[in-house]
Each structure stands twice: as C-alpha cells, then as structure tokens.
Amino acid sequence: MTFKEIQKLARAEWDSLYYGEIPLILVGTATCGRAAGALAVVEAFEKEIVRRKAAARVIQVGCMGLCYTEPLVTIIKPKSFRVCYKNITPDLVPRLVEGYILGDDPCLELALGTLAGGNGEAISIPELSRFEKEPRLIMRRCGYINPEDIKHYVASGGYSSLVRALQMPAREIISQLKRSGLRGMGGAGFPTGEKWELCQKAKGKPKYVICNADEGDPGAFMDRVVLESDPHQVLEGMIIAGYALGSSQGYIYIRAEYPLAIKRLKIALDQAQEYGFLGKNILGTVFSFYIELESGAGAFVSGEATALMRAIEGKRSIPRARPPHSVEAGLWGKPTLLNNVKTFVFVPLIIARGADWFSTIGTERSKGTAIFALAGKITNTGLVEVPMGTTLRELIFDIGGGIRQGKLFKGIQIGGPSGGCLPASLLETPVDFDSLSKAGAMMGSGGLIVMDEDNCMVDTARFFLDFTQKESCGKCTTCRIGTKQMLDVLEDIVAGRGKIEDMDLLVELGEDIRDGSLCGLGRTASNPVLTTIRYFHDEYEAHILEKRCPALVCKELIAYYIIPEKCEKGCEHCVLNCPVKAISSDERRLKIIDQTKCTKCGTCLEVCPAEYNAVVKLSPPTLVPMKEG
C-alpha cells in the first residue's frame, strides 16, 4: 500500500468511528485509569450495551493526564455534544447508557465538561479554565485515540512527517531542528539539533538511535503516559532520526515496571512494520530501519546515557567518563544518538509545522512545551503540559487547583532526586531550563511534588538522599561514600541527634559530591539537601536545636497524646484498634497512651471519631504531660 492508500483507509475507518451514526464510548485505560478501576468500567459498558440492546461502541484510549478524574469516560454522540465524565464506576454505567446513549439526557451531574478538538487540533475541555494555559503538543491526542490502532494515528496526521522527511536531504532535517531551538527533554537540555549534527558527522558505522524511556524518578510518569496513550509519535521521531543520521537500528530502553507501556509499544512496533513505516525499505525507499525494545532491570542510574548503553550491551549499568561522547563512541563504541521520549515526539511536529512555528512557543532559550507530573498535596493531580516559561504559581494554583483541604502551601520539589525544593517566595519562577537551574533546582525528570504544612522538608531531603544513596552505582568514591555520610547526618537530625555544625558539614559534603562525581546522578544527588538548607533553614534548626519537627512528621521527635478534655469516655476506638496495645483506660475511663510501647503508627489518630478529635501529635515529645510519660 502506498501512504496515500493507508491514509485513505485510516481516515475512512476513523470517520465512521468518530463521526459515524453510532455513539462511541472512550474509556481511559492507561495504568492510572486501571488503578482507579477503568477496566471494570469497560466491562460494565460492554455488558450494559448488550443488555439494553443499545447501539454503541466502546474503545479503550490512553490518558488525558487528569488523574484526579479517573476513571474518565468520554461519550461521542452523533449530532450532539461530546461529553467527558469523571470518576465513573461500574454502578454509574447504567445511568449513562440510559441517559445519554439511549436518551438525550447528557447526565450533567456526572460530567466534567465537553470535549473540544481532536480533528487535527489538540483535544481540550473548554469548561476547565486550565486548558487556556495548556496548548498541548505532546499530549494533543492522548486520551482520544486508540493507542493500539495505528490507523487512528495515521488518520490524525501521523506518519505524514516521516513521508515528508524521506523527501528531504538529511542536512535540511537537522538544520530545521537547530533552527527550532528544541532542547533535550530528558532534563539536561542539550540542544537537540546540535546533538544530531554531531552524530551525523561522526565517523564510524553502524550508527544507533536510542530512545531513553527509563523514567526512574519515583514521582514522574509522563513518559509512561505518552507511550501508553500515543506510542507511534515516538516511533515516527526515531525513524526520522534514523534517516537523518544514516542509522538502521534503533533501541527503546524502557523500565520493566511499565508493563502496559511495553505491551502497547510492542503492538505499535508490529503495526508500524506491517504498514511499512518500519523495517526494510520504508515506504518503498532504500532506507531501512529497525527498532528493538530493551526492558530495564530496575536501576535508576540506567537513565544516564552511557550507563543505559552498557545495559543494552548486557552489562552492569555503570556510567563512564566523557569524552568520548556517545555521539562519537556510544553503543558498542559506535556513534549513537540518545534522546528522551518527549524529544522524539517533537521531531515529527517540527517537520510538519516548521521550525519557525516551534520557536515561537516558549521562552528565548527554552522552546516548546514541558510536561510535569503534579503530585503530592495538590488538588488536581496528574499531568500538565504548558509552554516553557509558565510560572510555578500558574502551574500549582491555576492549573493544579491549589492545595488540598485548604492547607497552607509550603514548597515544591521539582525534578525528582536530581532536583531541588523551592519555597513559596519563588513561586514566580518561570519553568524553563535556565531559570530552574538558577534557583538550584532542575527541569530534570519533570516530577513536581507539592508540599503543604504537614510535610517536613528535612524528611523530604532525607527521602531523596536515601533513594540516590541506594541507587549510586558505586563507581565514584564521592558519590558512593559521600551520599552515605550525608544520609547518616540526616538520619541523626531527623532522630533529634543533630548538631548545629551538621548543616555546614552537609553543604560541604554536598558540594564535594557534586564536584567529584562523574555522572548526573552523583553531580545532582545533593540538590534536594542543598536547596532545603538554603530555603528551609529554620526547619533544620528546629530539628537540631529544639528537637522539634514543625510539620509533626519525624517519628523520633513527635508523640501522640489524647487530650483528656476532648476524649469521649464511653468510646473505646483507640484502645481497641491500637496494634501494640499501648492505650489503656484509667479509673475515670480516660484514655492514656503508654509512650514506651507506642510505635507512632497513627492508628489512634485515624480511628478517633472526627467529632471528638481528641488525639493530637506533639513535638517535641517532652510536651506530653509528665504523669503519662
């Protein structure tokens, strides 16, 4: 089949499905949707349609990034509104089928909003004001097309950039990328066009193209969502790279913890091959390109370029000194181009719409959009895609909806274990590569964790250091031993054994690790500690000088206490539920916690009825009246 014929076939199918006579039900079944019960919803729809003999089709789509609304269902009804429904459970399905599939009642009480776009333009929900700030590029089809059907991708414009690229000289593709200003989306921000040019000019054959999908930050999942929702755009970018660089072999290195992304990628690879976009003589040209999937085995350091290449070679994933750079001597010592998932996604877009268009989006030195994974104490958890230069305040309050339960905003942690913690005073910082580095954080993985008054910054720093310390590959002494020393000092501080000079020691160690380590993991490992010391100095001092944890988190520095005046004497919830039998009733039936037995699990606080609210946390523990000690 020629590309024109494939396109015609795909469009015919697409039109009959999305613009046909029969209602279409889209259910988001990416990993996050599944965790919220989306597969049961799919099943419920299929059963109900049969039971009611309704004419409707159900297809599984990816994720729109609105995690807080999962399971998310969209109903496309001919000659009527396309409506998105939030938090749909199987017991709501009969209502939707009765209301909007069979009848004309759009069930507004369950609706999130209407769906706009989808035919070329990015999808959006105009009722949600966040979409005004989210001109989505990477996620423009996510949650709308069926990721397991290549025809949906082709019908919505997919692979036409490949067709165009195959008619362009390689240097023209690279010069377009250079002019666009695109920078590596993996976090470090190296200019993409320049990287491609270096690799294209490098001597040595064969050359390799690698897509880094080893998303290791324990709080970022945008690459997973892209691969689960719209995988072909990544393949298209890689195939164009193969053509521009004169490479015929690509690899996708993906975390084994992402089984659904792996499954959907495999399907995408098979279909791309079947339709002639991949494999021998692509679209009838002399160019051939193959892609293999390699699944990671659970090492954070494998996300580092040289370490990742070793893992593909079947070796321990340990980074090496550069130069030589991978573009000259990478996989098996051959010139290798390695880019992040999102970087490859931008390539077909730039080919289709031009470098000039792309360079109008974003800031002077950071072009395009960036995706962040909003999590933590934020109302609207999920993914956001905003132009570079959007401020943190817009991200957290305008799009993210602010802090849950009216709590007080304390800070954000951006960029995962390599990033930093920023306080409220830096909310006007624009998100772009340079502004974030200047503040001591990093674009990094794109994880953005929002913290409120109940989160302890010292504990957060300890958490990240614990992670990097465990994940250090051990090659560089400063990283192997330095992170352990820093962690020991932090463990002391959160346990109330800290000394005031520890803070200087942490800064000194942190700077040594940064200067003395080879790879990004070591060079950035101390960022969470250095930034919390810089911006949340007072919390460290409270832990060290007053043995007090202001957020009431650090176990050694808090005690649980039952306020006698508030305790309802007839109620025994805490006594019965305490797993270590540390709570007893005295002769007046007042509940008393035996502090020597208490493991501080928090169960008593959880079970104490809200109307009494008698259990509190105190810090320092010496605040508990002596008679109970």
Judged by CB under 8 A, the stretch of 128-136, 149-157, 239-247, 574-582 that binds another protein is 574-582
> Closest distance between another protein and the C-beta of residue 213, in Å?
13
Spatial separation of the C-alpha atoms in residues 363 and 583, rounded to whole Å: 59
Please tell me whether residue 299 binds another protein under the rule CB under 8 A: yes
Asked if 487 is part of the footprint of another protein (rule: CB under 8 A), the reply reads no
221 touches another protein (CB under 8 A): yes
Q: Does 447 bind another protein (CB under 8 A)?
A: yes
Closest approach of another protein to the CB of residue 144, in Å: 20
* HSE-up of residue 184 (Cα within 13 Å, Cβ side): 18
**Per-residue x/- marks for another protein, 582-601, CB under 8 A?**
-----------------x-x
Question: Residue length, the chain?
Answer: 629
Is 212 among the residues that bind another protein (CB under 8 A)? no
Residues 622, 623, 627, 629: what is their CA dihedral angle, to the nearest 10 degrees?
A: -40
Gyration radius from the chain CA atoms: 27
Binding segment for another protein (CB under 8 A), chosen from 86-94, 314-322, 341-349, 529-537, is 314-322
Mask of contacts with another protein, 241-260, x by CB under 8 A?
A: ---------------xxx--
Q: Which residues are CB-neighbours of 591 under 8 A, at least 6 positions away?
A: 562, 567, 574, 575, 583, 584, 585, 614
| Burial of 609 (C-beta count, 10 Å sphere; 0-12/13-18/19+) | exposed
What is the closest distance, in whole angstroms, from the C-beta atom of residue 117 to another protein in the complex? 24
CB atoms within 10 A of CB 323: 7
**Minimum CB distance to another protein, residue 217 (Å):** 7
Residue 363 beta carbon to another protein: minimum distance, rounded to whole angstroms: 27
Selection from 441, 389, 392, 434 nearest residue 415 by Cα: 441
Which of these segments, 97-105, 370-378, 429-437, 538-546, binds another protein (CB under 8 A)? Answer: 370-378
Binding mask 516-555 for another protein (x = CB under 8 A): ----------------------------------------
Kindly tell me which of 134 and 294 has the beta carbon lying closer to another protein. Answer: 294
When binding is defined by CB under 8 A, the residue of 27, 312, 403, 554 that contacts another protein is 312
**Among candidates 471, 467, 535, 479, which has minimal Cα distance to 511?**
479
**Alpha carbon of residue 578 to chain centroid:** 37
Phi-psi region of 515 (alpha: psi -120 to 50; beta: other; left: phi over 0): alpha
Q: Using the rule CB under 8 A, is 342 a contact of another protein? A: no
Residues 6 or more apart in contact with residue 566 via CB below 8 angstroms? 612, 613, 614
Which chain residues interact with another protein by CB under 8 A?
31-32, 34-37, 67-68, 70, 216-221, 224, 256-258, 294-300, 311-317, 373, 375-377, 381-382, 413, 416, 447, 449, 451, 455, 460, 463-464, 467, 473, 577, 579-580, 599, 601-603, 606-607
